[in-house]
Amino acid sequence: MWPIKVLILLAMFSAAFAQNPWPPRLETGQVWNFTFEVQGQRFAWNVRLGSAQNGIFEAQAQGVDTRAAQVAYFADTLPGTNYKNVLVFDFKAPSTASSFASPFTCLIQPDGKGTVALAGIPCSATLGSATAGTSGSTGAPVWLKEARKEPVAGQTWRLETFNVAWNLALSKAESDGFSGTARMVENRSGEALPTDWAMRLYYVGRTLRLDVSVGQALISCLLDDQFQNAVDGVLRGEANLYSQEQQGSRGQSGCRVMLNPR
């Protein structure tokens, strides 16, 4: 029997099913873009379906953190509940640093909305491309493309957060964004910090996730939908500081990203 852990939320789940008749046809390689908000903070993942056994798909969720998940459609009653004819997303605890360290479960009903069993937090999911790489994103968020500010290999962006600034070299295009290096160019934090860091840019649905890391330290900046800021060339978001050896955020700060400044 598949364990469905209703630990944090069973959410009202609004999904875009116009092109996906009910019951949903789950297939290996599908990618679902999944988001929800809690206490004013937005969380997003791309959930890629892997192998299946007895209709239950093992999945990898990549976004604000990385975690395993299971996805299944239950025509009959979901074990341990009164729900039936539902699509279930069961997210495990994250395997990377995260500001939301708990596992959680969400249900989708035929009308695209979930019955609230705990918390009543709205969520959303859209079915993406099956050929989009490990994280499932087909490219930069639409708002960034519409602003004509889609990242390109060879560009240098600037990240400012926690009273530190880095020049980010977008060196290599990945299936879900870019990898490269981050060179510290300004430090008003009062701490002695290394100059050279690693950089990773992720596409997560309509969100950009920008990470810089060195040793056990990781700073993750989340940049949500902001078309006009993209047109102006300066994005603003929220950053968290993590230690790879500990769960949960070690500090928060606003973050500012200048797109390919001259």
**49 located within any domain:** yes
The model's pTM is 0.61
In degrees and rounded to multiples of 5, residue 228 shows phi and psi of -65, -40
Q: What is the mean pLDDT of residues 10-22?
A: 41
| Residue 184 structure tokens | 């510290």
| Residue 148 structure tokens | 């004509």
Q: Kindly tell me if the per-residue pLDDT of 259 is higher than 90.
A: yes
CA 213 from centroid of its chain's CA atoms: 18
Residue 152 sits in a domain whose CATH number is: 2.40.128.30
If you write DSSP's letter for every residue of 215-255 in order, what string do you get?
Answer: TTEEEEEEE---HHHHHHTEEEEEEEEEETTSSS-SEEEEE
Q: Of the given ranges (40-49, 84-93, 216-225), which has the lowest mean pLDDT?
A: 40-49
Domain encompassing residue 251: 142-258
Answer yes or no: do 82 and 172 share one domain: no
Q: Report the distance separating Cα 54 and Cα 210, nearest Å.
A: 37
Q: Report the distance separating Cα 144 and Cα 204, nearest Å.
A: 12
Q: Kindly tell me if the per-residue pLDDT of 1 is higher than 50.
A: no
Answer yes or no: do 93 and 167 share one domain: no
Answer yes or no: do 247 and 187 share one domain: yes
Answer yes or no: do 70 and 163 share one domain: no
With beta carbons less than 8 A apart as the criterion, state whether 261 and 158 touch: yes
With beta carbons less than 8 A apart as the criterion, state whether 15 and 36 touch: no
Give bridge partners of residue 256 from the DSSP assignment: 160, 236
**71 located within any domain:** yes
Answer yes or no: do 146 and 211 share one domain: yes
101-151 pLDDT, tens digit per residue, is: 778 888 877 776 654 345 667 777 777 643 333 333 457 888 999 999 999
Q: What is the number of domains present in the chain? A: 2
